[in-house]
């Protein structure tokens, strides 16, 4: 595979406040409140407008965990088709009787990776494996469905991408699978422990030897783009600190040079050394 120089990722950091969306005391709402739905969808639409109207349109757009109201998936697919970008977005809780899942949608425009409008999309879902204590407490009388599948998205010339939802970022076994197989790791989250995610982003970037992009809810902020560059000042590609902030941003992550470095064939040595025992796995 001949990889392109870089991948552009667009962040839409929506603000979904947990207490407003699902309540702060039992019984918690199964789906986000109407007010939260309307606000979230307004911010998603605004985010697409910002990203598509600026310089350097993204190849992939990421939206935080639990950000897309369930009745708006079709409209989101239309936005993805119109933008020409792959969209990775967290959905509101999905219920089936007394069982609940936390899922995300991956939407791929028909003409992608060509930079032009599509009129149809394909899509699939991936789910959370390990739920947070907050989710377990919220729905303690319900069954939280664990979805243990580990996905790698083959993004053609933009590289191979690992996917995770929030607390699955702490799943060590996931990184054993990803090591040597991916160029980028994308995490969508609704996480208040932002400093832990920042430190983990650097650790995973070094150990799995890949770029890391985290799109966190604007309620807590601190969305991150991290790359294992040799120079420390280059490693934090993007970090948006501050709570209660809606934001959009496009970042650029290396693909071709990182792939060569993973194969130990890059003479420029612009990245940190490969971790001990690292082996590039072609597939």
pLDDT of residue 201: 96
Secondary structure string (H, E, C) spanning the chain: CCCCCEEEEEEEECCCCHHHHHCCCCCCCCCCCHHHHHHHHHHHHHHHHHHHHCCCCCCEEEEEEEEECHHHHHHHHHHHHHHCCEEEEEECCEEECCEEECEEEEEEECCCCCCCCCCCEEEEEEECCCCCHHHHHHCCCCEECCCCCCCEEECHHHCEEEEEEHHHHHCHHHHHHHCCCCCEEEEEECCCCHHHHHHHHHHHHHHHHCEEEEEECCCCCCEEEECCECCHHHHEEEEECCCCCCEEEEEEEECHHHHHHHCCCCCCCCECCCCCCCCCCCC
| Residue in 216, 128, 229 with CA at minimum distance from that of residue 174 | 128
Return the residue matching tokens 């149809």: 120
Judge contact between 197 and 222, C-beta under 8 A.
yes
pTM of the entire predicted model: 0.96
Judge contact between 58 and 85, C-beta under 8 A.
yes
| Domains annotated on the chain, with CATH | 6-262 (3.60.110.10)
Instruction: Print pLDDT tens along the chain (283 aa).
Output: 899 999 999 999 999 999 999 999 989 999 999 999 999 999 999 999 999 987 789 999 999 999 999 999 999 999 999 999 999 999 999 999 999 999 999 999 999 999 889 999 999 999 999 999 999 999 999 999 999 999 999 999 999 999 999 999 999 999 999 999 999 999 999 999 999 999 999 999 999 999 999 999 999 999 999 999 999 999 999 999 999 999 999 999 999 999 999 998 877 789 999 999 999 998 8
pLDDT of residue 268: 77
Q: What's the gap between Cα 202 and its chain centre?
A: 16
Phi, then psi, of 188 in degrees rounded to 5: -110, 140
């Amino acid at each position: 595979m001949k990889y392109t120089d870089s991948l552009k990722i667009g962040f839409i950091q929506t603000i979904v406040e947990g207490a407003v969306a699902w309540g702060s005391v039992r019984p918690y709402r199964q789906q986000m409140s109407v007010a939260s739905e309307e606000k979230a969808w307004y911010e998603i639409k605004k985010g697409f407008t910002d990203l598509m109207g600026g310089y350097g349109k993204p190849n992939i757009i990421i939206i935080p965990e639990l950000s897309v109201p369930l009745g708006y998936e079709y409209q989101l697919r239309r936005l993805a088709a119109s933008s020409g970008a792959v969209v990775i977005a967290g959905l509101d809780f999905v219920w089936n009787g007394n069982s609940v899942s936390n899922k995300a949608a991956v939407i791929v425009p028909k003409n992608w990776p060509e930079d032009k409008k599509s009129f149809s999309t394909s899509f699939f879902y991936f789910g959370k494996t390990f739920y947070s204590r907050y989710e377990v407490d919220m729905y303690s009388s319900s069954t939280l469905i664990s979805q243990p599948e580990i996905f790698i998205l083959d993004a053609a010339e933009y590289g191979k991408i690992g996917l995770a939802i929030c607390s699955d970022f702490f799943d060590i076994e996931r990184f054993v699978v990803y090591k040597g197989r991916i160029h980028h790791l994308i995490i969508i989250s609704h996480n208040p422990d932002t400093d832990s995610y920042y430190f983990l982003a650097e650790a995973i970037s070094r150990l799995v030897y890949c770029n890391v992009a985290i799109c966190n809810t604007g309620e807590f902020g601190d969305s991150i783009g991290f790359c294992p560059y040799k120079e420390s000042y280059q490693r934090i590609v993007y970090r948006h600190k501050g709570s209660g902030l809606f934001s959009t941003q496009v970042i650029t992550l290396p693909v071709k040079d990182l792939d060569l470095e993973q194969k130990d064939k890059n003479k420029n040595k612009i990245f940190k050394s490969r971790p001990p025992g690292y082996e590039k796995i072609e597939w």
